C-alpha cells in the first residue's frame, strides 16, 4: 500500500478533476471510501497494488516507488469509446506532473480487460507509476 501522503494526493487530483464531457463517475477507494454503485452504473475503483521503499543514501532520505491503478467500470454493451476517453483523461491528469511532492511518471494507455465478455460491466484501467522522495526525521 502506498504512503498516506501519496494516497491523499491521488484522491485530491481525482476529486478536483472534471471530465471533458458527461458526468463524473463515482470514485471508490480501498477500505470503504465511497460506495460501489449498482451495476451498470459507471465508476472508478482506485487501487495501490505496489509500493516499494528504499533508502537513497546513508542519510534520512528515502524514496517510495509504486503505482496507482485506476479501474474504470462501464456498462457492457455501451461500447468502448467512453472508458477509453476517461482513461486518456485520467492519464493526462497525472502524466509527468509533480503534485504535493509526488512525482507522477508516464501512465499507461487504457488497458482493456480480456474477461470483459464474461461480465455485465466493461473493465478498463490506467496504471499511474510514481516516485515519492521523503525524509524520515526519526531515523538516526
Q: What is the CATH number of the domain that holds 18?
A: 3.30.2000.20
Count of positions (residues) in the chain: 140
Total count of domains within the chain: 1
List CB contacts of 3: < 8 A, sequence separation 6 or more.
Answer: 51, 64, 132, 134
Listed in sequence order, the residues at least 6 apart from 11 whose beta carbon sits closer than 8 Å to its beta carbon are: 29, 33, 46
State the number of CA atoms in the 13 A half-sphere of 84 facing the CB: 5
pTM of the model: 0.88
Closest CA relative to residue 70, chosen from 100, 92, 96:
92
Q: Which residue has the cell 491523499?
A: 8
Asked if the structure places residue 119 within a domain, the reply is: yes
Domain holding 27, by residue range, is 4-100+112-135
Residue 140, domain member (yes or no):
no
Flag whether 28 is in a domain.
Answer: yes
Please give the Cα distance from 61 to 110 (Å, whole number): 34
- In this structure, is residue 107 part of a structural domain? no
- For residue 75, the Cα-to-chain-centroid distance in whole angstroms is 20
pLDDT tens, residue by residue, 79-105 = 889 999 999 999 999 999 999 999 999
User: Cell digits for 71?
Assistant: 479501474
In a domain, 106, yes or no: no
Contact 70, 48 (CB under 8 A): no
Instruction: Judge whether residue 27 has pLDDT over 60.
Output: yes
**Phi, psi at 15, each rounded to 5°:** -65, -40
- At 31-50, the pLDDT tens digits run 777 778 877 789 999 999 99
Inside any domain, residue 89: yes
Amino acid at each position: 500500500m502506498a504512503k498516506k501522503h501519496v494516497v491523499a494526493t491521488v484522491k485530491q487530483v481525482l476529486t478536483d478533476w472534471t471530465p471533458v464531457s458527461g458526468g463524473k463517475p463515482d470514485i471508490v477507494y480501498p477500505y470503504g471510501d465511497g460506495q460501489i454503485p449498482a451495476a451498470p452504473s459507471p465508476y472508478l475503483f482506485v487501487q495501490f497494488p505496489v509500493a516499494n521503499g528504499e533508502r537513497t543514501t546513508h542519510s534520512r532520505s528515502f524514496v517510495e516507488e509504486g503505482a496507482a491503478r485506476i479501474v474504470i467500470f462501464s456498462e457492457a454493451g455501451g461500447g468502448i469509446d467512453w472508458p477509453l476517453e476517461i482513461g486518456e483523461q485520467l492519464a493526462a491528469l497525472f502524466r509527468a506532473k509533480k503534485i504535493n511532492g509526488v512525482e507522477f511518471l508516464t501512465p499507461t494507455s487504457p488497458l482493456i480487460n480480456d474477461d470483459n465478455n464474461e461480465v455485465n460491466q466493461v473493465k478498463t484501467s490506467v496504471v499511474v507509476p510514481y516516485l515519492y522522495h521523503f525524509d524520515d526525521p526519526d531515523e538516526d
